[in-house]
Amino acid sequence: MIEIKENISLAPFTSFRIGGDAKFYAEVFSVEELKEALEFAKDKKIDFYILGGGTNLLVSDDGFDGLIIKIKMNEISIDGEMIEVQSGVPLIKIVNTTSGQGLSGLEKLAGIPGTVGGAVRGNAGAFSVEIKSCIKTVTAYDTEKMELVSFENEQCNFAYRTSIFKENKNLIVISTTLALQKGDIAEVQKIVTETIMTRSARGLNGTKSAGSYFMNPVVENEKLCQEFEKEKGVPVRNKTLPAGWVIEQAGLLGKQIGGAQVSEKHANYIINAGEATASDVIMLVSFVKQQVRDQFGIQLTEEVNYLGF
Ligand SMILES: Cc1cc2nc3c(=O)[nH]c(=O)nc-3n(C[C@H](O)[C@H](O)[C@H](O)COP(=O)(O)OP(=O)(O)OC[C@H]3O[C@@H](n4cnc5c(N)ncnc54)[C@H](O)[C@@H]3O)c2cc1C
């Protein structure tokens, strides 16, 4: 039997440390408990929202007038190079577990916070590797059919920071089977360590944020693409520019509204520099989008998810 708590502050459950209260809050450790939570929301005729690690989420200052279902399903089973992992497992845990056994594939995802469920839904990636390249199947609970459904990789519609699970709110990621390759333990662990060190060197660890706020935009502005190539000495790929570089060109590094700030270290990080409210973040985000649109004709879209707006 699950415990349903009332009026729970959501800020501590997010990496932004921002947001009001959830009317109801439950943690689920199994599919049975998930069904129980969904039943509760249905009986009360309220909305539900799935919470993983809260590392890609901005919760409104008014909170959420429904049921937060925090996914805590946390089993891992390893069969040779196949790893079945439940959605509540922290991504870093599965990276460490597999690399510790010399299994290769996830090394470049080391240091991405949050859960496996959040990573699958958003096709998390870093350093040109996305989790989709290691996924064989995904099992989801379909809240409309009220049954478990299995998806092969090709059926998951994985693309840049999206998937079928993001497109459909009725699909809750339960587990995934990862297909990794046997590698050399020392070599695999070295890449994990180097990846984490590269991330640490950005100086953003410990800041209150939700990671990259915007998706990297596809840009028609040729002059801007040429400027990027000249400055960075690398070609623009697929007409896509790093959102952070574009925001920097708009002169917004360090721009602050209330407690929300465009990080001085990485312009695509909006940080909670003190006591930021969700309203501060929204005002700053609107300002950034407007400036980038006015100056370069680029429409930025959010990678971060919104709850309660
Ligand atoms: C410092 C920092 C660095 C980051 N670096 C990266 C990076 O390099 N690459 C990258 O891709 N991301 C990065 N992120 C963003 C974030 O870590 C990823 O998006 C992560 O995969 C989100 O997982 P989560 O469990 O925290 O999801 P949450 O924030 O809890 O949820 C995000 C969305 O997914 C939904 N969701 C969560 N779990 C499930 C589930 N089981 N089934 C269905 N829907 C679900 C939620 O409803 C919500 O809409 C970073 C974030 C931070 C704070």
Tens digit of each residue's pLDDT (9 = 90 or more) over 179-214 = 999 999 999 999 999 999 999 998 888 899 999 999
Taking the C-alpha atoms of residue 5 and residue 263, their distance in angstroms, rounded to an integer, is 35
- Give the 3-state DSSP-derived string for the chain, with helices as H, strands as E and coil as C: CCCEEEEEECHHHCCCCCCCEEEEEEEECCHHHHHHHHHHHHHHCCCEEEECCCCCEEECCCCEEEEEEEECCCCEEEECCEEEEECCCEHHHHHHHHHHCCEECCHHHCCCCCEHHHHHHCCCEECCEEHHHHEEEEEEEECCCCEEEEEEHHHHCCECCECHHHHCCCEEEEEEEEECEECCHHHHHHHHHHHHHHHHHCCCCCCCEEEECECCCECCCHHHHHHHHHHHCCCCECCECCHHHHHHHCCCCCCEECCEEECCCCCCEEEECCCCCHHHHHHHHHHHHHHHHHHHCCCCCECCEEECC
Clarify whether 161 is annotated catalytic: yes
Domain co-membership, 58 together with 140: no
212 is an active site residue = yes
Residue 163's domain spans which residues?
A: 76-188
Residue written as token pair 């190079």: 81
Distance 229 CA to ligand 1 centre (A): 30
Residue of the nearest CA to atom 35 in ligand 1? 118
Report the CATH number at residue 163: 3.30.465.10
What does the radius of gyration of the chain's CA atoms come to, in whole angstroms? 20
The neighbouring-strand residues paired with 178 are 83, 135
Give CA separation, 275 vs 66, 208, 219, 253, 307, in Å. 25, 10, 34, 19, 19
- Our mutation pick for probing the ligand 1 site, out of 89, 121, 165, 270, counting the most ligand atoms within 8 A of Cβ, is 121
| Ligand 1 mutation pick, 17, 29, 106, 112, max ligand atoms within 8 A of CB | 112
- Which ligand 1 atom is the nearest neighbour of the CA of 16? 53
- Residue at which a domain ends, from 188, 217, 243: 188
Give yes or no for a contact between 77 and 83, defined as CB atoms under 8 angstroms apart.
yes
| pLDDT, average across residues 55-83 | 97
Distance, CA of 189 to CA of 198 (rounded, Å): 14
Please, what sign has the CA dihedral across residues 249, 251, 255, 257? Answer: negative
Query: Model confidence over 114-142: pLDDT tens digits?
Result: 999 999 999 999 999 999 999 999 999 99
* 147 and 166 housed in the same domain: yes
Instruction: Give the mean pLDDT of the chain.
Output: 97
| Same domain? 59 vs 80 | no
Co-location of 64 and 126 in the same domain = no
What CATH number is given to the structural domain containing 294? 3.90.78.10
Q: Is residue 80 located within the same domain as residue 184?
A: yes
Q: Are residues 83 and 161 in the same domain?
A: yes
- pLDDT at position 213: 98
Q: Do the beta carbons of residue 64 and residue 153 sit within 8 Å?
A: no
Percent of the chain with pLDDT over 70: 100
Q: Is residue 10 part of a domain?
A: yes
As for how many domains the chain has, the answer is 3
pLDDT (tens digit per residue) in 258-309: 999 999 999 999 999 999 999 999 999 999 999 999 999 999 999 999 999 9
Whether residue 65 sits in one domain with residue 141: no
Residues 266, 227, single domain; the answer is yes
